[in-house]
Structure 1
Amino acid sequence: MTTTHCPYCALQCAMHLEPGPDGRLAARPAAFPTNRGGLCRKGWTSAELLTVPDRLTRPLIRKDRASPLEETDWDTALDHVAERLLALRAESGPDSVAVFGSGSLTNEKSYTLGKFARLALATSQIDYNGRFCMSSAAAASTRAFGLDRGMPFPLTDVGQAEVVLLAGANPAETMPPMMGHLSAPTLIVIDPRRSATAQAALTDGGIHLAPRPGTDLSLALGLLHAVRVQGWCDEDFVHGRTHGFEAAWEHAAAWWPERTEQVTGVPATRIRAAADLLGQASRNRSAYILTGRGTEQHAKGTDTVSAWINLALALGLPGRQGSGYGCITGQGNGQGGREHGQKADQLPGYRKIDDPAARTHVARVWGVDPSALPGPGRSAFELLDALGTDHGPRAMLLFGSNPLVSAPHTDRVRDRLASLDLLVAADFVLSETAAMADVVLPVAQWAEESGTMTNLEGRILRRTRAIAPPEGVRTDLEVLSDLALRLGQPPQRFPTDPDTVLAELGRASAGGLSDYSGVTPERLSSGEALHWPVRAQEEPTPHLFLDSFAHPDGRARFVPVPHQPPVETTDDDYPLVATTGRTMGHYQTGAQTRRVPELHRAEPEAYVEVHPDTAARAGLASGDWARITSRRGHTRARVRLTPTARLDTVFLPFHFAGDQSANNLTHPALDPTSRMPEFKVSAVRLEREPAHP
């Protein structure tokens, strides 16, 4: 039996992997603070990923774009990739090669991928799919508190609170074990949908506020107005531990509840009731505000999260035991993946790549001159959108990501991928993006290698190898090392042992905001709760900000944020708003979960939630195939009549591909700070489509 952690979300639930009667591994829940001995459906079936029938075990290569992928050997595949990369660099410079990473990679792989891009390729063109997940909350937390750790407190603290406000989060479906921590507090749920979490709140006497999609920033302003007018603002905290309240209040002062109701559709009486409920709990230092993707995935996502942080600061929640603000990180290593160098503007330890001191420190660890390190590159969608253009990359290496399904404006992304001279994908199955690649490299899965992950609380965990990978499969670290050698790097520069990489990551992150220098295999194996920063010879840090915030003066910052309408508005041709999200049975682009029989049976196809009256106007009945069209493309989905849905809104999960992809619809407008695309608001029309065979 091997004790490890789940391959999916940022809870990183603990589990035992045990061989069954047929010799295959089976997952069983293990006791751990985040999951308390529970698993969701995805966790229970996670071991089935290890034996999916279309598992890749040999490299694939195609002679040309018109030819199919064919099996080859590793030397042929890697030699071909290295030769093409060297030729492209010689012709067009180092930035002609791009790297695209993932929030599902271990810390060791995330770190090595960033190092590989900057040293072996000398390119600035690296980013990762986490840009589509947590980037807005990361940016907002950094400017408010001076650093970003999703939850600056253990998740177990939340279960002791009187009230928890969840803005744009649906853990009842996306992280079911988390609901064990939310059963005691009264919940206030902000969501345009009557989600499973919203229903749980109502069932237990809580509040569900359902704003029009894209107006949650205005709702946060309205709640801040109500909190101050109704006497719940913590003046001592505001004056003693923050800066900038009056500037933020200048915007909120205009958002009295009745005006907020006109814009958001949320009744003023319910806004005042939510403010009172939250305010009373804050007086007892027993309230939390937690945000999720629903607040972040907008072209104004950073400001929207800032509005919720402003509300938390006005109530005096952050930096105190028993209360606080936190972001519910989504991907398995969404936290660690954004700390150690696979972001366009970043070096290990959450350092900025344009900071001379950071460059000097990391270059010393890597054994190079600081001038050898490239500068900042493009963010994720900007990188994808530049592929194959006159001044963009001509080749891309893809690790652990499926942007043909996860990125907005799918048709545009497909065109850009097809325009590359070379696309290389490292994956364990032929995902939709890997199927377009010129070379596909079969790599190990979660239970076939060891490494560390950092969960939503900033706790560093060991994921333990349970079985060897199939013959012919290599780890990502081995792939990067083998390629680096072929690109002229010294053999010792890219080690393949995860513990060796972790030790180097510790040195590279030492002194940074996310300092892992005290993380060792021994401490991890002992079960010690290692919340970063974990400095050498020091205790870990489960609670941040109790004494001071991370800005030089120790104070948090209110950020003035005005009301901003959605980028796209409805009209007669596109009269509805489509919003997207996740379901219980699937994870991310579905490349993993759509291959697990039980999960596929539960959710075999895309669906669209529609109010019965809205469906009737489009001539649609339950179970019909609908065609949903935006100004960028269209998708098809099975109609689910949902009486609790808003009349003006339809909802689609984004786990499906091809003509069922929700991101065929979505808008590529970007947040000016986080560079997050506008996933949550697309103007659409709804029509009948004949059922496909």
Structure 2
Amino acid sequence: MRANYCGRYVGESAVKRRLPTVEGMAPTPADSAAGTHCPYCALQCGMMLTASDAAPPVEVTPLDFPTNRGGLCRKGWTAAELLDSPDRLTTPLLRSRPSDRTAPFVPVGWDEALDAVATVRALADAARHRGAVILTARGAEQQSKGTDTVSALINLALALGLPGCPRSGFGCVTGQGNGQGGREHGQKSDQLPGYRSIDDPAARAHVAAVWGVDPATLPGRGPSAYELIERLGTPGGPRSLLVHGTNVAVSSPSGRRVARRLAALDQLVVCDVVMSETAALADVVLPVTQWAEEDGTMTNLEGRVIRRRKVVNPPPGVRTELEILAVLADRLGHGDRFPADPDTVFDELRRASAGGTADYAGITWRRVDDEDGVFWPCPSPEHPGTPRLFADGFPTPDGRAVFVAVEHRPVAEDVDDTYPLYLTTGRVLQQYQSGAQTRRVPSLAGSADGPHVEMHPDLAERTGVVEGGTVRVVSRRGDAVGTVRVTTSIRADTVFMPFHWGGLQAVNRVTNPALDPVSRMPEFKVCAVRLEAGGRPADDGSDG
């Protein structure tokens, strides 16, 4: 498994000056500045954005924030380039012929687009002393035995006495900047805000009271993300889907099967900043704001709640996702329950998470600004926050940690004579997630790290391919092509391919959707494949 981290890259635009953190600065359309955080990975490096009418319209300067200390990676330095990208979506789009996804998109007004969404389907239904850290990327989790792997790593951390000690513990660097924050807010089908279980009667009663609804009206435990996708357009499954914050056509395993499930929907609505591969399949496309065009909070890999600040206004015709949810709710008869103001929504989160594991009750935007972020749990305004979990024990009857016994299990799909190689997937430093954003940043798109297949020299010789040639990676589900990259840093029985590209270069056409029995995470990180020199992928839509 491969992963690249932001680190302390300071090269392309050496720091001209060290600016202090700007606190509470109200943004204006031009000549404004605000301290904020990078839109990419979970490090959430601190940066100052300065907007002006000159070129460039937004200048990035790194801040001396705890996770980056004045450094930025190449993605961070170029983060503002996407704000005025020529590929930016600025008006809602509808198919010229409703229900025909082969018809071209036509620009429409917001009222027409939102009416189209609301009238088809009611979306509301749908080493202790010196300090040591065991730090992983997502590879440990993205396997059909990921829960066991992570449990074993936590067991190791506990055996070493790391949790609760200074500069020590276990953690995961997620690829998404607010991956942890989303889970704290309850953005999983089995959770409520504050890391509460949706099956817990007391949790249901608390959150229902905040929302002013009967606890019985809250849904029960839902399917995982991939299982939800598998049910799209099936009898008893969802008929309409609102997508935001993801590019499922590229990022989901068994990608061609996912495309067929999306096509089976009565309606697909996508909110995005550019025409992603998923947006291109939609009935309605709604343009939304980017990171530097809206206010809110994030939670980085430390569990530190930090602020995102609006620095520039979005292009005309673009709305925030809170605004879209609010006006859709109004069209569906529930407008009084969906505020569009982010500060009001955060106050609701504080009340909904109060008393939970991830308790935000004592966190305010002012405190986050003044204290360089606040660590949860923070149950009251007087509470200092909790920079170190488990310092005084664990949430068990006797306060001691519990080891979880695990046994080794093989991968869901092992190699055989037909598919004799292992494929693993991962990231490259210059790209982010499905690449829909970073592939449109010229200084990143021009890097050497395009879609490629890494392999050992011995394997390249056996396959009959050379550096810079084209190779086809084939599994039981589909195939993808990439440029050959020969390296001795990989095993001779394994190939690696990054997942930042769509179309015929999308490696998730190949990956295995086998799920972990507990987390329901697909096995992105290993499957059986074979290599074929040259050629184009088959695109007949057939897979397993």
The aligned amino acid for 2:221 is: P
Residue 545 (structure 1) shift: 0.3
Whole-angstrom distance in 2 between the partners of 1:540 and 1:630: 49
Is the Cα–Cα contact under 8 Å of residues 6 and 15 in structure 1 kept in the other structure?
Answer: yes
Residue 454 (structure 1) shift: 0.4
Whole-angstrom distance in 2 between the partners of 1:439 and 1:429: 13
Equivalent position of 1:28 in the other structure: 61
Is the Cα–Cα contact under 8 Å of residues 625 and 691 in structure 1 kept in the other structure?
Answer: no
The aligned amino acid for 1:510 is: A
Whole-angstrom distance in 1 between the partners of 2:511 and 2:391: 40
Is the Cα–Cα contact under 8 Å of residues 614 and 647 in structure 1 kept in the other structure?
Answer: yes
In proportion to residue count, which structure has more helix?
1
Equivalent position of 2:374 in the other structure: 530
Whole-angstrom distance in 2 between the partners of 1:529 and 1:447: 18
Whole-angstrom distance in 2 between the partners of 1:295 and 1:304: 6
The answer to whether 1:602 aligns with 2:443 is: no
Whole-angstrom distance in 2 between the partners of 1:377 and 1:312: 32
Spell out the pairing of 1:8-407 with structure 2 (5 A cutoff).
Answer: 8-19=40-51, 21-22=54-55, 24-62=57-95, 63-65=98-100, 66-86=102-122, 121-123=124-126, 281-282=127-128, 284-407=129-252
The residue matched to 1:621 in structure 2 has which SS? coil
Is the Cα–Cα contact under 8 Å of residues 250 and 434 in structure 2 kept in the other structure?
Answer: yes
The aligned amino acid for 2:412 is: V
Equivalent position of 2:424 in the other structure: 579
Residue 575 (structure 1) shift: 0.8
Equivalent position of 2:469 in the other structure: 624
The aligned amino acid for 1:499 is: D
The aligned amino acid for 1:31 is: D
Residue 292 (structure 1) shift: 2.0
The answer to whether 1:513 aligns with 2:370 is: no
Identify the range of structure 1 (677-686 vs 312-321) with the bigger mean alpha-carbon deviation: 312-321
Question: TM-score by structure 1 length?
Answer: 0.71
Is the Cα–Cα contact under 8 Å of residues 163 and 389 in structure 2 kept in the other structure?
Answer: no
Whole-angstrom distance in 1 between the partners of 2:187 and 2:132: 34
Deviations 1:359-396 (A, max 9, x none): 11011111111111111111000000110111211110
Residue 524 (structure 1) shift: 1.7
The residue matched to 1:508 in structure 2 has which SS? helix
Deviations 1:586-619 (A, max 9, x none): 0100000000001100046310111111011111
The aligned amino acid for 1:4 is: T
Whole-angstrom distance in 2 between the partners of 1:528 and 1:489: 36
Equivalent position of 1:233 in the other structure: none
Q: CA RMSD in A?
A: 1.5
Is the Cα–Cα contact under 8 Å of residues 578 and 682 in structure 1 kept in the other structure?
Answer: yes
Is the Cα–Cα contact under 8 Å of residues 26 and 47 in structure 1 kept in the other structure?
Answer: yes
Q: What are the ranges of 5 or more consecutive residues in structure 1 without an aligned counterpart? A: 87-96, 98-120, 124-280
Whole-angstrom distance in 2 between the partners of 1:334 and 1:552: 30
Whole-angstrom distance in 2 between the partners of 1:612 and 1:385: 39
Whole-angstrom distance in 1 between the partners of 2:178 and 2:76: 16
Runs of 4+ in 1 over 3 A off after TM superposition: none
Is the Cα–Cα contact under 8 Å of residues 586 and 594 in structure 1 kept in the other structure?
Answer: yes
Deviations 1:171-193 (A, max 9, x none): xxxxxxxxxxxxxxxxxxxxxxx
Equivalent position of 1:251 in the other structure: none
Whole-angstrom distance in 2 between the partners of 1:27 and 1:529: 20
Whole-angstrom distance in 1 between the partners of 2:232 and 2:266: 10
The aligned amino acid for 2:239 is: R
Q: 2:348 aligns with which of 504, 525, 539?
A: 504
Whole-angstrom distance in 2 between the partners of 1:334 and 1:53: 28
The residue matched to 2:446 in structure 1 has which SS? helix
Whole-angstrom distance in 1 between the partners of 2:81 and 2:396: 46
The residue matched to 1:335 in structure 2 has which SS? helix
Spell out the pairing of 1:636-651 with structure 2 (5 A cutoff).
Answer: 636-651=481-496
The aligned amino acid for 2:370 is: S
Whole-angstrom distance in 1 between the partners of 2:294 and 2:131: 41
Whole-angstrom distance in 2 between the partners of 1:593 and 1:661: 15
Whole-angstrom distance in 2 between the partners of 1:528 and 1:573: 55
Whole-angstrom distance in 2 between the partners of 1:301 and 1:687: 30
Whole-angstrom distance in 1 between the partners of 2:280 and 2:289: 18
Residue 453 (structure 1) shift: 0.3
Deviations 1:552-604 (A, max 9, x none): 43221111100111111111111110100000100100000000001100046
Residue 687 (structure 1) shift: 1.4
Q: 1:438 aligns with which of 263, 273, 283?
A: 283
In the superposition, relative to structure 1, how do residues 29 and 322 fare at CA in structure 2: closer, same or farther (>3 Å)? closer
Is the Cα–Cα contact under 8 Å of residues 184 and 193 in structure 2 kept in the other structure?
Answer: yes
Is the Cα–Cα contact under 8 Å of residues 144 and 515 in structure 2 kept in the other structure?
Answer: yes
Equivalent position of 1:669 in the other structure: 514
Is the Cα–Cα contact under 8 Å of residues 99 and 266 in structure 2 kept in the other structure?
Answer: no
Residue 528 (structure 1) shift: 4.0
Residue 466 (structure 1) shift: 0.2
Is the Cα–Cα contact under 8 Å of residues 307 and 373 in structure 2 kept in the other structure?
Answer: no
Question: TM-score by structure 2 length?
Answer: 0.90
The aligned amino acid for 1:291 is: T
Residue 69 (structure 1) shift: 1.4
The aligned amino acid for 2:373 is: A
The aligned amino acid for 2:109 is: D
The answer to whether 1:4 aligns with 2:40 is: no
The residue matched to 2:179 in structure 1 has which SS? coil
The aligned amino acid for 1:71 is: P
Whole-angstrom distance in 1 between the partners of 2:56 and 2:38: 20
The residue matched to 2:121 in structure 1 has which SS? helix
Whole-angstrom distance in 2 between the partners of 1:518 and 1:122: 33
The aligned amino acid for 1:564 is: R
The aligned amino acid for 1:42 is: K
Identify the range of structure 1 (35-44 vs 286-295) with the bigger mean alpha-carbon deviation: 286-295
The answer to whether 1:459 aligns with 2:304 is: yes
Give the number of the structure with larger relative contact order, counting CA–CA contacts within 8 Å between residues 6 or more apart. 1
Whole-angstrom distance in 2 between the partners of 1:691 and 1:301: 33
Spell out the pairing of 1:403-482 with structure 2 (5 A cutoff).
Answer: 403-482=248-327
Whole-angstrom distance in 1 between the partners of 2:56 and 2:153: 50
Whole-angstrom distance in 1 between the partners of 2:195 and 2:351: 13
Is the Cα–Cα contact under 8 Å of residues 594 and 604 in structure 1 kept in the other structure?
Answer: no
Deviations 1:185-228 (A, max 9, x none): xxxxxxxxxxxxxxxxxxxxxxxxxxxxxxxxxxxxxxxxxxxx
Whole-angstrom distance in 1 between the partners of 2:160 and 2:536: 52
The aligned amino acid for 1:531 is: F
The residue matched to 1:627 in structure 2 has which SS? strand
The aligned amino acid for 1:68 is: P
Deviations 1:513-539 (A, max 9, x none): 000111112112213430111111311
Is the Cα–Cα contact under 8 Å of residues 175 and 433 in structure 2 kept in the other structure?
Answer: no
Whole-angstrom distance in 2 between the partners of 1:535 and 1:427: 35
The residue matched to 1:460 in structure 2 has which SS? strand
Residue 662 (structure 1) shift: 0.9
In the superposition, relative to structure 1, how do residues 47 and 490 fare at CA in structure 2: closer, same or farther (>3 Å)? closer
The aligned amino acid for 2:369 is: S
The residue matched to 2:114 in structure 1 has which SS? helix
Equivalent position of 1:112 in the other structure: none
The aligned amino acid for 2:86 is: P
Is the Cα–Cα contact under 8 Å of residues 185 and 194 in structure 2 kept in the other structure?
Answer: yes
The residue matched to 1:602 in structure 2 has which SS? coil
Whole-angstrom distance in 2 between the partners of 1:82 and 1:407: 27
Equivalent position of 2:10 in the other structure: none
Whole-angstrom distance in 1 between the partners of 2:88 and 2:171: 37
